[in-house]
Every structure is written in C-alpha cells, then in structure tokens.
Amino acid sequence: MEKPAERSDIKSRADIERLVNTFYEYVHKDALLAPVFNLPPERWEYHLNRTYNFWENWLFQTGNYGGGLMWAHLEKNQTHPFQKAHFEHWLSIWFGTVDALFTGPRAEFIKSKALEIGGWMFGHIDRLNQEQGPKTQQ
C-alpha cells in the first residue's frame, strides 16, 4: 500500500468515502476476503453507504447511522463462515489502508475502533458458529 507524500487526518465524509473505497479496492482483490464481499451491485451500494454512515457517525457524531452492519455480517456468515483469519486479515488491510492515506488522532481512533468492534463481532460470530456446528462454505 503506497503512502502519499503528505497525509493529514480524516476531516470529512469525503475522506471517509476515500478510505472505505480504497480499502474495498484491496479487499476485492484479496483471495481470502473477496468472496465474502461479493455482492450484487444494488446491495453493494447499500453496504457502502451504510459503511460510510457508520464511520462518519463514529468520527463526527452525525447521527446518520441507523444500524444493520452486524446483521450483514451474520447473514454473510451463513454462506462464508468467518474464522479468526478473516478478521485478522480484514484488520490488517484496514490498518494498512488507514496508514497509507491518513495520519492523526481520527486515523488512530478509526483503527482502534475497528479493532474493538472486530474483536466483539468475531467473538459473537465465533460463539454462534460453535453453537451451530461446522458449515461448509458455498
């Protein structure tokens, strides 16, 4: 991941969109994660907007996030059972993308929050997977 000559902190929704879009460019080329994020175009646009709203709300308290990302992950887990490797790799790409594009307190916050949420989400999904038994990836 290339680092631009000058980086600044995340200042706006446009910065969040740039971060999320760049992150997903990497994810869609990744052998482990690309199958998980393969969605029809209309669902993809919906996912992107929800993701922009999610991070914008965390950074700027806009109140424009209505929830639902956990449900999207639970739904995907039904066809692509998540393992610890998925979360660790997701975080690695997320951290690398943030560091390549931004520096500052908000950039650090967004990495910290992703680590916190990812840990909570993996714990929840892992418990569900253990309770439901092994699934085959479709």
Q: Which CATH number is 25's domain given?
A: 1.10.490.10
> What would the pLDDT profile of 4-19 be if each residue is shown by its tens digit?
558 999 999 999 999 9
**C-alpha dihedral sign at 76, 77, 81, 86:** positive
Q: Is residue 137 part of a domain?
A: no
Q: Is residue 45 part of a domain?
A: yes
The total of other beta-carbon atoms located within 10 Å of residue 122's CB is: 19
The total of other beta-carbon atoms located within 10 Å of residue 57's CB is: 15
Q: Is residue 3 part of a domain?
A: no
Between CA 39 and CA 47 the distance in angstroms is 9
Q: Is residue 1 part of a domain?
A: no
Of the ranges 21-35, 89-103, 120-134, which one carries the lowest mean pLDDT score? 120-134
Between CA 72 and CA 78 the distance in angstroms is 10
Q: Which range of residues forms the domain containing residue 101?
A: 13-132
Q: Is residue 65 part of a domain?
A: yes
Q: Is residue 126 part of a domain?
A: yes
Domain count, the chain: 1
> What would the pLDDT profile of 14-42 be if each residue is shown by its tens digit?
999 999 999 999 999 999 999 888 888 88
- Answer with the residue of higher pLDDT: 53 or 42: 53
Between CA 98 and CA 93 the distance in angstroms is 9
